[in-house]
Structure 1
Amino acid sequence: MAMLEQFLWVIYPYVCLVIFIVGHIFRYRTDQFNWTAKSSEFIEKKQLMAGSLLFHLGIIPVIMGHVAGLGIPKSWMHALGVNDHLYHIGAVYVGGFFGIITLLGMLILTWRRFTLRNVRRLSSASDLAVNALLLLIVFMGMYATLVTNAVQPEFDYRETISIWFRGLFVLSPDASLMGEVPLSFKLHALAGFTIFAFWPFTRLVHVWSVPLNYISRSYILYRRHRSN
């Protein structure tokens, strides 16, 4: 059992992170022309717009919440005047609200990807896998937030998962901290690292293609041609 915990909570996360970094470098150097989201908007537009809007509106606050919950120690929150009760309200109610928005968006996008024949034909195996995995990650996150926290209110992930997570980045992870963590949180964490390993080889790479050069680019002038 100890060996399994070492693999799941030490070896596996590092393997996923190494694949994430090396995979991006490799793909950028060898496959820049396919660094794209491969939009299927011309096939179906309404579900894509609704799902994308909900997903992107929800995922940014959700990511910020993860950064705060996992990256900022509990004692620092107390020093800033954020007690456990106030943090719990923010994590469950505010995080739950944006999590539901994200989940609805992913449900629409996944339903569209799997049920519309032409969209499915355009999709690669990696597209389908990413959609399914993202849906699982969001669902397990919502289940952990709304269900597990209600059933096991005594569990505080900032005393276990957060400390283990920060330990990964200072090269001293403690796998024993994850031993008593509820299953929903464990599945959410493992699926999250799995998506990092998939990332460089899927359409998710388009996240890094932010067209910042458009900010400083000169305007394109269009002139009407007047025939003599």
Structure 2
Amino acid sequence: MIDSFLLVGLPYLAITVCVVGTFWRWKTQAFTWSSLSSQFLEARQLRWGSMPWHLGILLVLLGHLVALALPRVWGSLMTYPTLLVITETVGLGAGAMALVGIVVLAFRRLTSGRVQAVTTTMDLVVLALLFFQSLLGVLTALLHRWGAAWSTATVVPYFWSILLLRPDPSLVADLPPIVKAHLVGAWLVLLAVPFSRLVHVLALPLSYLWRAPQIVIWSGSRRARMQAKDLAVAESRREFLKGAAGVAVAGTLLSAGVLDKLVRFFQGPKISGEMETVLLAKRLRHLQMTAEEQALQLERQKNDRILIGRLSELSATKGKYFIDFHMAPALAFLGANGLPLLISAKCTHLGCTVGGDVDAQGQILCPCHISYFKITTGEPNPGAPAKTPLPHLEWAVVDAAGKTLAQRTAGGAIEGSLAGVPPEACQVYVCRPSPEGAS
């Protein structure tokens, strides 16, 4: 019940009172909109409080407004760790600056007798609200870090649910108490706007940029001395403001164009459902190929022999491809002696995969740079780009009972025979290379 009031009832109450109360005050008490200056009452502490407060709170509000207005862009930017750290650091620094500023301003208002004379009860209430709101913001940044990232999935949707009249307090109901207190503090500050000096933030003196200069008439001889100087200073200041306004407008237009490109960049290209299906299918195939490769590597790590197939499946003219213990392509042929002949299919020139068809000269071709290799010796043809022979691999022939009938050793010697055993009953394995290597 309390969450429903603080996170739904209070926001709508604050927004309604702020809009209606501010309009009523503007219509009935327009001259009370501006914040009465107290600089002539006490200026030293004001300088050390006003500047940090206004600079810090403006930076904090700017960050909050950008995140609320452009949540997708902001969320995309915060996925970069460097930008997230920079944003959090700047935000914490600005929040600390605002906190120090409001403490100095509160101390000044409570200790200066001249300033106390023009202080109202609402001024003290607003100071307390701003102090606690600044303190809660700094504590949130310190105790619940990376709020610039997680707020886009909680606070920002909650804010928009309030504005779109579809309140969803569950988005922030599970947030830490400090964060929820910070949200409630924001609505309380908004509620106090029409009854306090805070309303002066809406009184932007834009007409000052184009109104005619105002001339202050001094009495006595001072008028003659100061008139020319004051007019020159006023006119130069006004021209400067006009120029600055022009530069600001041009910069805003330029920023809008750049921001549009930035938004499009982080949003990425818009793809149709059909194209997305194609991309997902390609990604799935890549994942499957990666999984198959990992399975092959695991099999070769666990076993000393890898099955190629039955001896009857091998041909003297067309090789059977398989993957050797180095995860490289290899070919299995049936030799002239009726025994397996295993040779690497990785070209010794640039690592291309050699073809598996044997020509009339007993050679296989690497088509990339036209190198022929004799399958019995592995030697390349004279003048070929490849200069090194293809290595033969060690193998073993095993019967149905698991007994090794014949094998090729590291030195190239053949041990055993297949006498009396039909090829259909023989299985061919490639063996893990021995320390001596293959010939």
TM-score of the superposed pair, with normalisation by structure 1: 0.87
Q: Greater share of strand residues, 1 or 2?
A: 2
Segments of 4+ in structure 1 off by > 6 A?
none
Which structure is higher in RCO with an 8 Å CA cutoff and minimum separation 6?
1
What is the alpha-carbon distance in structure 2 between the residues aligned to residue 187 and residue 64 of structure 1? 21
- Give the Å deviation of 1:156: 2.1
Query: Which of 48, 51, 59 does residue 50 from structure 1 map onto?
Result: 48
- Give the Å deviation of 1:6: 1.8
- Give the Å deviation of 1:117: 2.6
Unaligned runs of 5+ in 2: 218-222, 226-439
Query: Which of 64, 67, 70 does residue 65 from structure 2 map onto?
Result: 67
- Give the Å deviation of 1:220: 4.3
Per-residue CA distance 1:145-165 (angstroms, 9 max, x = gap): 122328xx9x92222122111
Are 1:224 and 2:224 matched, yes or no?
yes
Are 1:91 and 2:87 matched, yes or no?
yes
Per-residue CA distance 1:31-80 (angstroms, 9 max, x = gap): 1232231222122101112211111111111111111233432x43355x
Are 1:143 and 2:139 matched, yes or no?
yes
Query: Which of 111, 126, 129 does residue 125 from structure 2 map onto?
Result: 129
Q: Greater share of helix residues, 1 or 2?
A: 1
Greater Rg over alpha carbons, structure: 2
Relative to 1, partners in 2 of residues 1:70 and 1:210: Cα closer, same or farther, differing over 3 Å?
A: closer
Query: Which of 6, 9, 25 does residue 8 from structure 1 map onto?
Result: 6
- Give the Å deviation of 1:113: 1.2
What is the alpha-carbon distance in structure 2 between the residues aligned to residue 6 and residue 86 of structure 1? 37
Relative to 1, partners in 2 of residues 1:38 and 1:87: Cα closer, same or farther, differing over 3 Å?
A: same
Aligned residue pairs: how many?
Answer: 218
Question: Match of 2:183?
Answer: 189
Identity %: 32
What is the alpha-carbon distance in structure 1 between the residues aligned to residue 79 and residue 96 of structure 2? 25
- Determine if contact 1:5/1:176 at 8 Å carries over to the other structure: no
- Give the Å deviation of 1:126: 0.5
Unaligned runs of 5+ in 1: none
Determine helix, strand or coil for the equivalent of 2:133: helix
Determine helix, strand or coil for the equivalent of 1:39: coil
What is the alpha-carbon distance in structure 2 between the residues aligned to residue 121 and residue 219 of structure 1? 33
- Give the Å deviation of 1:26: 0.8
Determine helix, strand or coil for the equivalent of 2:37: coil
What is the alpha-carbon distance in structure 2 between the residues aligned to residue 53 and residue 168 of structure 1? 33
